[in-house]
Amino acid sequence: MKKILFVLFFIPIISAAQGWMPTGARSGGVLNTSLTIEDNWAYFNNPGAIGMVEDLSVGVSYENRFLAQDLQSQSIAVAVPTKYGVFSVGGFNYGSTEFRNFKTGVGYAMKLADNFSAGIQINYQGLRLPEFYGSSNTVTGEAGVLLKITDEWNFGASIFNLGRAKLSDFKDDRYNTVLRVGTSFTPSKLMKISAEIWKDLDGPVSLRGGIEYQPFDDFYMRAGIGSQPTAFAFGFGYKWKVIRFDIATAYHQTLGWSPQISFTYEKKK
């Protein structure tokens, strides 16, 4: 319980505490520089990138924030490509009986050109704090785009909480609105380098970078580093036929380690 209260004290610098939570261990391994990653976890990381997904994908993920028993999260993300675009559903549940944050929603994305996709998402989410503070439930929206400038160079952008949904009437407190822009460069088929700028409207600008390297077939190594707050991450991934397994951990300079794991099934056409 003491660690929960300590984390709540740091709510202004932890975006997940107010509604937005990047998810998936592939993303986690590069410290969530994931705007240009085209997989089902784009449901959480960039609603526009999911428009490039071509195969039915289902994933589940587990994360233990700061190794605190009461700060665990479970997530699911599903992407369903059709000839009319890509539909997605998903959600996460984070916290404990004392502090719980959840989100569930649906999304739609489509390719507007061979090198450009855009998507939107509507979420129902809530935050429950200890009894004295009460709880809040609301609807939030988010949107994103992905542009393939060249075969090697991509650009992505997203915004969470378009309508500035309220958290409470006290001091006009609202769910955080997070703006992200980023790019990635693929110098070879074995390596991808990414960089992003994040801005919470109520917080400082955060700079992040990540790298994914494939030393041999179906095995991946990842690392990332960021500022505000200072943090780093690393992880690994393995793909076996239609199953992808990813594991990662991030380190926050004040709160410590946050390991996570995810499994994804992709039904090839």
3-state secondary structure string, the chain?
CHHHHHHHHCHHHCHHHHCCCCCCHHHHHCCCCCCCCCCCCHHHHCCCHHHHCCCEEEEEEEEEHHHCCCCEEEEEEEEEEECCEEEEEEEEEEECCCCEEEEEEEEEEEEEECCEEEEEEEEEEEEECCCCCCEEEEEEEEEEEEEECCCCEEEEEEEECCCCCECCCHHHCECCCEEEEEEEEEEECCEEEEEEEEEECCCCEEEEEEEEEEEECCEEEEEEEECCCCEEEEEEEEEECCEEEEEEEEEECCCEEEEEEEEEEEECC
- Indicate if the pLDDT at residue 167 is higher than 90: no
Structural domain that includes position 257: 2-267
pTM of this prediction?
A: 0.90
- Alpha-carbon distance of 12 to 65, in angstroms, equals 16
Examine the pLDDT at 254 and tell me if it is beyond 90: no
> Which domain CATH number covers 102?
2.40.160.60
User: What total number of domains does the chain contain?
Assistant: 1
For residue 15, pLDDT over 50 is answered with: no
What span, in angstroms and rounded, lies between the C-alpha atoms of 92 and 124?
11
pLDDT > 70 in the chain, percent = 89
- What is the predicted pLDDT for the residue at 203? 86
Alpha carbons 43 and 53: distance in angstroms, whole number: 11
Cα–Cα distance between 63 and 260 in angstroms, integer?
A: 4
Query: Rounded to an integer, what distance in angstroms lies between the CA atom of residue 255 and that of residue 6?
Result: 9
- Dihedral of CA atoms 208, 198, 220, 62 in degrees, nearest 10, equals 120
The pLDDT assigned to 9 comes to 39
Whether the per-residue pLDDT at 100 is higher than 90: the answer is no
Beta bridge partners of 194: 184, 210
- Residues 32-86 have pLDDT tens digits of 999 999 999 999 999 999 999 999 999 999 999 999 888 899 999 999 999 999 9
Q: Which of 8-22, 67-81, 92-106, 188-202 has the lowest mean pLDDT?
A: 8-22
Q: What is the dihedral of CA 18, 248, 218, 118, to 10 degrees?
A: 10
Which has more confidence, 253 or 139?
A: 139
- pLDDT at position 8 is 44
pLDDT of 144 strictly over 60: yes
Q: How does pLDDT run across 218-246, given as a tens digit for each residue?
A: 999 999 999 988 999 999 999 999 999 99
